[in-house]
Amino acid sequence: MGLLQRKKDIIEIKISKPIEDLKSIDDVLYEPRSWSPDDLKDACNNLSFESSQTIGEFENLSIQYIIRNFFFLMHQTGLYNPQKKLWTQLAQTKKITIKPYKKIPRKERENTKINDIIFEDNNRKFILVRLVYPGSQLNFAGFKPLIASIPGRCVGLFYITDQEPDSKTLSLIKTKTNAGDFFDKYRSPIAPGCSFNLVRYEVQQGKLIYRLVHPDLNKNVEAELCFNYSEHSS
């Protein structure tokens, strides 16, 4: 029964291009500078998701943010150049896996919920997103384990939370990603060939707003997802 329960905790999502005659995000990799914002939006929208189970609204919105909004943001701000491997990986994602993060201290599990979302291509390279749920008590509990041991197949890490990092955490992030270096400031290397991005979200008037905290692009790069959002969503 325990094994069956663990399997139920894992959700797999297959990604495909619903309209074959139209371009999608993998096509953007070829001559990316030639894409207008409108054409890029159309490409980001030409994605379909087939899930093994019902996806909670919060997970769904966060997945849409990463693979659509963040991909678009990287193109429009130029972040796709220093983080080319991560950007390419997003475009080539074929499977997304959602599973619970298990290393939360037992006494805090009722007050903290964290999921891992893995964006994987056909060659088993992947991006790992650690997603912290609204109101979690141990908000950065999953951060240090995330950066402590990074597999070679991982080309990108995200930590998504509703809390601002304290000065100690932000200092650690800047040190680990060599943020003082001119070239690494935006490449944000947390390990060889692996970029790190810290994202903060807020619920504003029923909408979920994501903001890139690190690397700091010195621009207003909030991304609004126009979906209704409830803090009580599963």
Task: Give the three-state DSSP class for 232.
Answer: coil
Which structural domain, as residue segments, surrounds residue 139?
2-225
Higher pLDDT, 29 or 141: 29
Q: Supply the pLDDT for residue 234.
A: 32
Q: Does some domain include residue 234?
A: no
Q: Does some domain include residue 232?
A: no
Q: What is the pLDDT of residues 36-74, one digit of tens each?
A: 999 999 999 999 999 989 898 899 999 999 999 999 999
Contacts of 195-198 with CB under 8 Å at 24 or more apart are: 195/82, 195/83, 195/85, 195/86, 195/155, 195/156, 195/157, 196/147, 196/156, 196/157, 196/158, 196/159, 197/70, 197/83, 197/86, 197/156, 197/157, 197/158, 197/159, 198/158, 198/159, 198/161, 198/165, 198/173
The least confident of 4-13, 101-110, 126-135 is 4-13
Q: Does some domain include residue 197?
A: yes
Q: Does some domain include residue 230?
A: no
> Alpha-carbon distance 40 to 90, whole Å?
14
Peptide bond into 18 cis (omega under 30): no
Q: Does some domain include residue 74?
A: yes
Q: Does some domain include residue 53?
A: yes
Q: What is the pLDDT of residues 67-81, one digit of tens each?
A: 999 999 999 989 999
Do 196 and 127 meet the contact criterion of CB atoms below 8 Å apart? no
How many domains are contained in the chain? 1
Mean pLDDT, the chain, whole residue set: 86
Residue that the structure tokens 């006494």 belong to: 107
Q: Does some domain include residue 231?
A: no
* β-bridge partners, 200: 161, 211
Q: Does some domain include residue 218?
A: yes
% of the chain with per-residue pLDDT over 90: 59
